[in-house]
Structure 1
């Protein structure tokens, strides 16, 4: 590295994750870094340029611009940018230039990858922005932070055993940490009350410090489930406290391990299939947040997580339909219950309303509607009770408009295509995501292909659908990188649904329309559009990778909320991410905006 070695070492030791590296490793990194100086206005790299590695700003300010030359962020000291293999295999989908005189450090790609392979803290910091598509983690590979019960019960050493026992009873837990000056001094379990307090006849005012296990062995939040299993087996214990620099952060119990092993979407679906009442169903659907958080923690790709969560919603719907038929009797004519929206696309998360409709056989007569209105109400009410709240736009089978014979549905679709006004565009967007859930599939067979063919031939309809798809835009601003809400309940956050995944969902629907593609799932549509040549190979790769990151970030946000006892939503503060993560997310949004620009100009491809 040559000159200024001491100053650069000091700087790196103030920047995470370099501050986590050992002295020897830091020496190696110092030898690998290149010092680069750029005058104001000079390009650092151009669009689609092969990147040399990871840049770190020491001083100055760097502007990141999209393919149209629009600035999407301005980065300052300690911000990283560059090594973005996520988007185009080392080629940048953005450009970078020095806004002011800037001093940068360049970590070559090969050194970066070696650190990712060998340094756990370094990899943890950068890996979240590089979600993997292959492989999953089992219980032994999960982080302790994903297994532990947060906000653990604790008390000071002078607490009486009687008071501690009451705390355990009220919290319905089996252990309590004894904390002195923020440090974990000991742990007391229900077994200790039996073997040390009751068995020895100690008075209720005995302080917990006399019976607790002192200075218990503990693990850190970043250790693995395998470490917990090993400690429990070797030390024959059922409670492992989790500490961070001595501070009591959580606890992992045998019950936690069993719960993570036992609860899965398949188990929940099996229980749902045998539920006898709506009340039983609600008990099972309450487990959905936990299942979602567990799937995210085990490293499942976002489309696998949402597919498994949607499978639960499908199972609930089918069970409710069976309950309704048991109560109402056999239907007067064949019917088909279909889902649209996120359930239709198999993209449900921890926040879902219900969007559904009924296709009825053309033998339907007006007097039959009494039956189907009752069936729709039973199912929709049951879904709402199970957490799938009523559609705010009344896109449900309880609305007579969406409970019609097949001939009426054919008229709906042909009318929307022939006269694509604003309502027609909105309704067509929803209905193009239809997927049968239960009933007579023949009522849907052929209709989708027929409608796609009819719609794709109408250039005016396609044009209106393209314009409608551009109404949701990524949350990019000129100076700060992200356009957050400026006021209100969600101030300083971005909406990862309407400004994150929905723009890609809309693009996928347009590609499906242009290519007459039958998949309803967004990722499947993007892959099919690539294979059919609707979008270019590079455009598809960039957009799929961008979508993967945005959807992954959304699920991690919801999983984090669930883990901390909060109701999951789609509003995330960009400040909750690291600088590197924010950089990746900005790049992903730039890709989406670029693809929107391309399809808006009639090109539909990128690269």
Structure 2
């Protein structure tokens, strides 16, 4: 199924909510002015009892202009009363068929007599045109940062659309992350165009959810710069300016500044390769709480733009050194257990909001990172790490299959929650109320959390490799 296959999408996820309306006694001219002010081609007519009809630009032309209906008269005189409507449960395919059969361009969505939305040909065209590839193209073609920001502002709509068409969670987050990667590379190019060619090779890397290719509708920026060891003190101002240009641009495009200052604008994270090697060696040799936290973040590094040779050996060498240090592995194991699934007494879900990030996906992310360390596997994506852990024997096939299923359910539930918020005009977040789920959904989500909790217990007892 295509990620933009509107034929299987429920109309409730496709329609424009809160359409412009007027009462039946509104003067025709006033209705026309409303349409012009809102730049729309139709207006819905409602009264206290519900939906009454629809007036389109075609109605205005045919009845007012062509046949001389008085513009001061009520809009009910020119509205189409017997307009066929659809319920929110209808599919996009139903809208297409109705438009083709009746040669219309507007379909009101009515639920129990009440107008809840409208679908127009423009909505269908916009839906079919909106894709991650389209957003990537428009980011590349953007003339300036504000133009790029207007494109990235459409990412929540894309997320809701992809969720609505049943696209798998790892595909959705990959597509959304691809847009962030493109934005970053375009900003790097703009920085070089402004500052001139870099004095030495460099590599811009992402960590966090962008590094793992797991971005959703809520993402800040986490990044760093690795510079060639040929860099001099005189070169550093260039990279400070480059980092500021890119970071400011990302912030303007909705990837807000990292609250923990894990950004290339922080001089600590804009250093030559030899310094980065020292960072990792120090964290592994002396695994303090800060070292564990930083190592966890940095194990998710992924090159975005620049000279990737600066990272290849560093990643492989660090994994090998870390895996050989049993004390470091023990500390990383303890660190991976800090985020627990949201289960209470008798493994019950709490009544209050579930943090689907820190208590939902993060426990699995931490487990995946630990399995990658044990198996010395290079992927940074969580699902890929679990699959690689199964392949290398760091995780049993049975335990791995259970963990993958649990992760898929948790991550999908999180995205569905964000998509529901986006569709009603809310900003997406990670706080899910269990009461918004069906009993069936709550039961399966609880089971998924129990799987994660069991895997954490196995890791904590030293049986993690057995799953």
Structure 1-normalised TM-score?
0.75
Instruction: Using the TM superposition, give the Cα deviation of residue 262 of structure 1 relative to its aligned residue in structure 2, in angstroms.
Output: 0.7
Instruction: Using the TM superposition, give the Cα deviation of residue 226 of structure 1 relative to its aligned residue in structure 2, in angstroms.
Output: 1.2
Distance between the aligned counterparts of 2:249 and 2:263, measured in 1?
A: 13
Secondary structure of 1:240 counterpart: strand
1:44-59 aligned at under 5 Å gives the runs none
For the pair shown, the structure with the greater C-alpha radius of gyration is 1
Instruction: Using the TM superposition, give the Cα deviation of residue 160 of structure 1 relative to its aligned residue in structure 2, in angstroms.
Output: 2.3
Q: Is 2:394–2:466's contact at 8 Å kept on the other side of the alignment?
A: no
Among residues 154, 157, 180, which one is paired with 1:287 in the alignment? Answer: 154
1:182-581 aligned at under 5 Å gives the runs 182-478=49-345, 481-483=348-350, 492-581=352-441
Q: Which runs of 4+ in 1 moved over 4 A?
A: 134-137
Distance between the aligned counterparts of 1:480 and 1:446, measured in 2?
A: 44
Residue segments in structure 2 that go unaligned for 5+ positions in a row: none
Q: Is 1:538–1:606's contact at 8 Å kept on the other side of the alignment?
A: no
Q: Is 1:152–1:250's contact at 8 Å kept on the other side of the alignment?
A: yes
Structure 1, 271-280 or 211-220: larger mean CA deviation: 271-280
Instruction: Using the TM superposition, give the Cα deviation of residue 605 of structure 1 relative to its aligned residue in structure 2, in angstroms.
Output: 5.3
Residue 88 of structure 1 is matched in structure 2 by none
Structure 2-normalised TM-score?
0.97
Tell me, yes or no, if structure 1 residue 598 matches structure 2 residue 458. yes
Instruction: Using the TM superposition, give the Cα deviation of residue 389 of structure 1 relative to its aligned residue in structure 2, in angstroms.
Output: 0.3
Distance between the aligned counterparts of 1:597 and 1:136, measured in 2?
A: 38
Distance between the aligned counterparts of 1:303 and 1:332, measured in 2?
A: 38
Q: Is 1:539–1:605's contact at 8 Å kept on the other side of the alignment?
A: no
Change (3 A) 1:378 1:561: same
Instruction: Using the TM superposition, give the Cα deviation of residue 480 of structure 1 relative to its aligned residue in structure 2, in angstroms.
Output: 9.2
Secondary structure of 1:444 counterpart: helix
Instruction: Using the TM superposition, give the Cα deviation of residue 256 of structure 1 relative to its aligned residue in structure 2, in angstroms.
Output: 0.6
Q: CA RMSD in A?
A: 1.6
For residues 331-390 of structure 1, give each alpha carbon's deviation from its aligned partner in whole angstroms, at most 9, with x where no partner exists: 110000000000000001111101000000010111110100000000000000111000
Distance between the aligned counterparts of 1:170 and 1:473, measured in 2?
A: 52
Distance between the aligned counterparts of 1:580 and 1:173, measured in 2?
A: 42
Distance between the aligned counterparts of 1:195 and 1:257, measured in 2?
A: 25
Secondary structure of 2:342 counterpart: coil
Instruction: Using the TM superposition, give the Cα deviation of residue 135 of structure 1 relative to its aligned residue in structure 2, in angstroms.
Output: 7.7
Instruction: Using the TM superposition, give the Cα deviation of residue 429 of structure 1 relative to its aligned residue in structure 2, in angstroms.
Output: 0.4
Residue segments in structure 1 that go unaligned for 5+ positions in a row: 1-133, 485-491
Distance between the aligned counterparts of 1:440 and 1:289, measured in 2?
A: 32
Change (3 A) 1:362 1:471: same
Q: Is 1:595–1:606's contact at 8 Å kept on the other side of the alignment?
A: no
Q: Is 2:283–2:291's contact at 8 Å kept on the other side of the alignment?
A: yes
Structure 1, 253-262 or 284-293: larger mean CA deviation: 284-293
Residue 21 of structure 2 is matched in structure 1 by 154
Distance between the aligned counterparts of 1:503 and 1:171, measured in 2?
A: 47
Q: Is 2:336–2:367's contact at 8 Å kept on the other side of the alignment?
A: yes
Change (3 A) 1:205 1:605: farther
For residues 60-94 of structure 1, give each alpha carbon's deviation from its aligned partner in whole angstroms, at most 9, with x where no partner exists: xxxxxxxxxxxxxxxxxxxxxxxxxxxxxxxxxxx
Distance between the aligned counterparts of 1:167 and 1:586, measured in 2?
A: 50
Structure 1, 574-583 or 335-344: larger mean CA deviation: 574-583
Distance between the aligned counterparts of 1:224 and 1:167, measured in 2?
A: 29
Instruction: Using the TM superposition, give the Cα deviation of residue 606 of structure 1 relative to its aligned residue in structure 2, in angstroms.
Output: 6.7
